[in-house]
Amino acid sequence: MLRIDHIGIAVRQMAESNELFRKLLGEAHFKVETVEAEKVATSFFHIGESKIELLEATDPESPIARYIEKRGEGIHHIAFEVDDIRAEVERLEKEGFLPLNREPKRGADNKLVVFLHPKSSNGVLVELCQSIQQ
């Protein structure tokens, strides 16, 4: 694991939250991106070497919509950057963690991502991410 790449935060209203986090962090978001497969709109802020990712559902059936329905807005996941995502998944499985997808999928911010089930990591949804080489 290299570092915390970002913290994902589930929000109801992206425009309002972009403004809120601009005030909080002192800098506007630098990127917005929609991940169609996950039915989610994202917006990214720099904070030092890490990022904040705001997540807004684009559809009532989105995992983010269901998350907010159950638990309200708030911290949704922590993303760790890795340099070999397949090797990390294999290592973590041996340690007893449960990947939600074993095959890395394309996430926002030009990354390959794998999520670990929160029940295997003290209730924290963990995202492993690896930058896709351009």
Nearest approach in angstroms of CB 50 to Zn ion is: 11
Nearer to Zn ion, 78 or 98 (CB): 78
44 near 6, Cβ under 8 Å? yes
Could you say whether residue 126 binds Zn ion (CB under 5 A)? no
Nearest approach in angstroms of CB 48 to Zn ion is: 17
Nearest approach in angstroms of CB 75 to Zn ion is: 11
Tell me the window of 11-19, 44-52, 66-74, 120-128 that interacts with Zn ion (CB under 5 A): 120-128
Could you say whether residue 54 binds Zn ion (CB under 5 A)? no
- What DSSP designation does 26 have? T
Phi and psi dihedrals of 69, rounded to 5? -60, -45
Residue with tokens 């041996």: 94
Q: Please give the Cα distance from 46 to 85 (Å, whole number).
A: 23
Report the residue from 79, 82, 85, 89 that binds Zn ion according to the rule CB under 5 A.
79
- Give residue 35's Cα distance to chain centre: 11
Could you say whether residue 104 binds Zn ion (CB under 5 A)? no
Nearer to Zn ion, 4 or 98 (CB): 4
Could you say whether residue 8 binds Zn ion (CB under 5 A)? yes
| Spatial CA neighbour of 11 closest among 43, 50, 51, 45 | 43
Write out the two tokens for 51: 């990022």
Site size with Zn ion, rule: CB under 5 A:
4
| Spatial CA neighbour of 41 closest among 13, 4, 21 | 13
Interface residues with Zn ion (CB under 5 A)?
8, 53, 79, 127
